[in-house]
């Protein structure tokens, strides 16, 4: 995939399919240590140990609509190409966590891409799910927590066009702010 945001979208979709109601996405850019870390944790069904051990095999998938699962193997290959790796932890009934690490300045590291668009599209399609997105750059943090938004919105759906526009603008401004000092 040309952008890491597309890998993120794929894993968010896996979480949705697994029945998650809460997904946490954390991105940490540690320029001093030359690391980019992406972690996605959900409270979905989780996976049996046997599946977790084989999940990076492209011919293993839990989906019944196809016989291959390329998302995680492609993410792992991308991370390993950039002096990093991917780790998955899962527990049946509790959820799954996918953590990836990349050398931030590696010439082959795909750009993060349009994370704002990826998250807005995901929320538009899945307004019932809660997403906590944290992004850290050199100790400066940005957080979007849809649970807090829901409290303020008092029942207005997250996929209402004006709300999605506000989320998009909030994400853009927050990311611009933490990256402008980097």
Average pLDDT, the chain: 92
Cα(8)–Cα(72) distance, integer angstroms? 10
Distance CA 4, CA 28 (A): 13
pLDDT for the residue numbered 60: 60
Q: Express each pLDDT in 11-50 by its tens digit.
A: 999 999 999 999 999 999 999 999 999 999 999 999 999 8
pLDDT at 65 exceeding the cut of 70? no
What's the confidence (pLDDT) of residue 62? 53
CA distance 116 to 129: 17
- Of the pLDDT bands very low, low, confident and very high (cuts 50, 70, 90), residue 66 is very low
For residues 39 and 106, give the distance between their C-alpha atoms in angstroms, rounded to a whole number. Answer: 19
pLDDT band at residue 52 under the 50/70/90 scheme: confident
pLDDT in tens, 69-126: 568 989 999 999 999 999 999 999 999 999 999 999 999 999 999 999 999 999 999 9
The whole-number pLDDT of residue 61 equals 57
What pLDDT shows up at residue 53? Answer: 84
């Amino acid at each position: 995939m040309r952008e890491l945001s597309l890998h993120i979208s794929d894993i968010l979709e896996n979480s949705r399919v697994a029945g998650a109601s809460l997904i946490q996405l954390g991105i940490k850019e540690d320029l001093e240590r030359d690391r980019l870390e992406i972690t996605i944790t959900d409270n979905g069904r989780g996976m049996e140990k046997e599946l977790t051990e084989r999940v990076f095999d492209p011919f293993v998938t839990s989906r019944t609509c196809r016989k291959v699962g390329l998302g995680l193997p492609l993410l792992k290959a991308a991370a390993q190409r950039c002096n990093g790796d991917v780790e998955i932890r899962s527990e049946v009934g509790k959820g799954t966590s996918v953590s990836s690490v990349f050398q931030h300045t590696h010439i082959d590291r795909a750009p993060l891409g349009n994370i704002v668009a990826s998250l807005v599209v995901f929320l538009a399609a899945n307004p019932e799910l809660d997403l906590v997105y944290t992004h850290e750059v050199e100790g400066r943090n940005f957080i979007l927590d849809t649970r807090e938004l829901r409290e303020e919105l008092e029942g207005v759906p997250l996929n209402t066009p004006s709300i999605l526009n506000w989320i998009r603008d909030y994400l853009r401004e927050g990311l611009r702010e933490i990256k402008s000092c980097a």
